[in-house]
Amino acid sequence: MRHYGLHVSIPQKTGIYKETPLTAMAFFLASNQVWATPPAWSEREINRFCESLDSCPVLTSRQIVVHGCYLLNPAADREEVRDKTAIRFIDEIKLCDQLHIGRYVFHPGSTRGETQQGLDQTIQLVKLGLESGDFDRKYD
């Protein structure tokens, strides 16, 4: 096995332990069961996270995946759900950029309508995220 790791809680307060033997990690940026956007990480918390990751000998930002909120549903039939999804999605993408994490996964949700329409809505959300992110940054 090349990489092994855990899906852990939000590392906002603790950062990455440099003694970890993990070579992969996934985590949420905030509670994954509420629509509220992630509470702003303070500059201190962002710096602590980035510094702890930089000092970790076995784990780099290339081995970290942020998992999107479970409520995201760009394929939803209801516009209200798609709007909430877009707001939370963009907030999470921007926080990933601040943390220098270039990997993000989310569940595309589901639709009761036309499957192709749900897929198209999901693609539009990803395009919106690509436009809003700082993807010129070089992630290691």
Measured distance between the N- and C-terminal CA atoms of the chain, rounded to whole angstroms: 21
User: What is the per-residue pLDDT for 22?
Assistant: 83
Which is nearest to 110 in space by CA: 63, 78, 68?
78
Flag whether 139 is in a domain: no
100 near 61, Cβ under 8 Å? Answer: yes
Higher-confidence residue of 41 and 12: namely 41
Q: Where are the alpha helices (DSSP H) in 4-78?
A: 43-54
Output the pLDDT for position 32.
85
> Could you tell me the sign of the dihedral formed by the alpha carbons of 99, 8, 92, 101, in that order?
positive
How does the average pLDDT of the chain come out, rounded?
86
110: in domain: yes
pLDDT of residue 139: 52
pTM for this prediction: 0.86
Residue 98 within any structural domain of the chain: yes
- Does residue 140 belong to any structural domain of this protein? no
Average pLDDT on 92-105 reads 91
Q: Please, which pLDDT band fits residue 72 given cuts at 50, 70 and 90?
A: very high
Residue 49 inside a domain? The answer is yes
Specify the number of domains making up the chain.
1
pLDDT (mean) for 70-93: 93
CATH code of residue 68: 3.20.20.150
The verdict on residue 21 lying in a domain is yes
Q: Is the pLDDT at 38 greater than 90, yes or no?
A: no
Residue 138, domain member (yes or no)? no
Q: Which domain holds residue 128?
A: 5-132
Q: Which pLDDT score, from 0 to 100, does residue 1 have?
A: 64
Instruction: Give 133's contacts (C-beta < 8 A, 6+ positions apart).
Output: 93, 94, 96, 97
